[in-house]
């Protein structure tokens, strides 16, 4: 996939060759498999979710899966498709209160798009492209080599390889004058264009929502995509300075685009476009001082017009049902 990425010369955000596949219905939601090409690597696979009883166009919402240190699956972590995926059950229970939040929002009256993105799910790298060659790279000087594994379907093993591989991909993106942030946000803008093209979408604003790495993607879409009129960023907001005290290494390369002054400034780039940030006060990934500073910075940029809302929740990194309901109430204000 890296070779095809390197050969890409135009970054048109129009999804190429979109295809709609099979459909299903379960638990009050009608789903459809869709896919398109971004011009490099395998096709992007996604799901469209709508209320089973809906017949006309609905407001649009993009549900964005997180990083999670779990790249084997993407959309399956936050959405129920035609069949259950047991491998994501523990993650979903710990991070989302056991709820497929994309389906929750679909049942509440949205046309929800749930796309995979570069490095995850249908867009993940094959194992053989991540294995080291016969001459070990410099990473072996600071981390033990991952042994080969007889079971190529071992998801935990794949995810360990993928964690190491992200460093290589980030270096490669730099060589071609891009960043991992650029590539991921580009693919999400293509997804937004796909959603906008659908006839089951009202001619109105589109929102996006995600936790953690999905919150990172939501902030990037909010900052760079004119199609997005409201964003919910969950568990992914802090100023950079406080992260230097023991938090920096815990985060994906997506969180550090080159040349960025600070993360809240990026999230507010298109102010006063509405923005909701849900903060976790006992989040292991972010210091409370960074969280509070980010809220203060966003409040300063947005002023008191009401387009920015910061909500604070006690407890660990998560996007649970109470937070789903609060996000829904806020999204209804701006998208309905």
108-122 pLDDT per residue, tens:
999 999 999 999 999
How many CB atoms lie under 10 A from the CB of residue 175?
9
Cα 335 to Cα 112: distance, rounded to the nearest angstrom: 13
Give me the mean pLDDT over the 236-250 stretch.
91
pLDDT score of 308:
98
Residue 207 confidence (pLDDT) above 60: yes
pLDDT score of 141:
39
Q: Which residues pair with residue 24 across a beta bridge? A: 31
Burial of 288 (0-12, 13-18, 19+ CB in 10 A): middle
Tell me, letter by letter, the H, E, C secondary structure of 172-231. HHHHCCCCHHHHHHHHHHHHHHHHHHCCCEEEEEEEEEEECHHHHHHHHHHHHCCCEEEE
Residue 144 confidence (pLDDT) above 60: no
pLDDT score of 152:
58
Q: Which whole-number Å values give the CA distances from 172 to 39, 45, 179, 284, in the listed order?
A: 17, 24, 8, 30
* CATH no. for 2-121+183-335: 3.40.50.1820
Give me the mean pLDDT over the 152-162 stretch.
87
Give me the mean pLDDT over the 179-206 stretch.
96
pLDDT score of 151:
60
Contact 63, 101 (CB under 8 A): yes
Q: What is the pLDDT of residues 263-290, one digit of tens each?
A: 999 999 999 999 999 999 999 999 999 9
Q: Residue 134 — very low, low, confident or very high, per pLDDT cuts 50/70/90?
A: very low
Cα 179 to Cα 188: distance, rounded to the nearest angstrom: 14
Mean pLDDT lowest for which of 42-51, 86-95, 145-154, 155-164? 145-154
Give me the mean pLDDT over the 19-48 stretch.
98
Q: Between vectors from CA 241 to CA 238 and to CA 243, what angle results, nearest 5°?
A: 65
Q: Which residues pair with residue 207 across a beta bridge? A: 61, 230
Backbone angles phi, psi at 185, to 5 degrees: -65, -35
Q: Determine the number of helices (DSSP H) and then strands (DSSP E) in the chain.
A: 10, 9
CATH 3.40.50.1820 residue ranges of the chain are 2-121+183-335
Give me the mean pLDDT over the 313-336 stretch.
98
Q: What is the pLDDT of residues 323-334, one digit of tens each?
A: 999 999 999 999
Match 């071992």 to its residue by tokens.
154
Residue 133 confidence (pLDDT) above 60: no
Residue 135 confidence (pLDDT) above 60: no
Match 């919150």 to its residue by tokens.
215
Crossing angle (nearest 10°) for helices 180-197 and 213-224: 70
Contact 72, 216 (CB under 8 A): no
């Amino acid at each position: 996939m890296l070779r095809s990425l390197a050969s890409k010369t135009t970054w048109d955000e129009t999804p190429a060759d979109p295809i709609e596949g099979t459909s299903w219905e379960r638990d009050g939601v009608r789903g459809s498999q869709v896919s398109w090409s971004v011009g490099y690597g395998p096709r992007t696979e996604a799901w469209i979710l709508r209320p089973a009883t809906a017949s006309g166009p609905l407001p649009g919402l993009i549900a964005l899966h997180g990083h999670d240190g779990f790249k084997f699956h993407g959309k399956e972590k936050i959405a129920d498709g035609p069949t259950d995926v047991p491998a994501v059950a523990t993650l979903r229970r710990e991070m989302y209160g056991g709820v497929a939040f994309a389906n929750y929002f679909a049942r509440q009256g949205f046309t929800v798009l749930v796309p995979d993105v570069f490095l995850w799910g249908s867009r993940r790298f094959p194992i053989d492209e991540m294995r080291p060659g016969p001459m070990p790279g410099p990473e072996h000087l600071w981390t033990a080599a991952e042994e080969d594994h007889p079971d190529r379907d071992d998801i935990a093993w794949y995810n360990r390889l993928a964690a190491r591989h992200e460093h290589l991909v980030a270096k490669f993106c730099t060589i071609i004058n891009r960043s991992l942030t650029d590539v991921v946000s580009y693919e999400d803008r293509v997804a937004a264009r796909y959603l906008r093209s659908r006839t089951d979408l009202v001619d109105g604003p589109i929102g996006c929502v995600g936790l953690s790495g999905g919150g990172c993607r939501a902030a990037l879409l909010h900052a760079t995509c004119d199609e997005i009129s409201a964003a919910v960023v969950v568990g992914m907001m802090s100023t950079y300075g406080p992260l230097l005290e023991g938090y920096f290494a815990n985060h994906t390369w997506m969180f550090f685009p080159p040349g960025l002054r600070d993360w809240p400034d990026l999230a507010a780039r298109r102010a006063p476009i509405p923005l909701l940030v849900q903060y976790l006060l006992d989040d292991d990934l972010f210091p409370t001082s960074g969280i509070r500073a980010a809220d203060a910075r966003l409040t300063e940029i947005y002023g008191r017009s009401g387009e920015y809302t910061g909500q604070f929740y006690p407890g660990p990194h998560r996007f649970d049902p109470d937070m789903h309901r609060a996000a829904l109430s806020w999204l209804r204000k701006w998208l309905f």
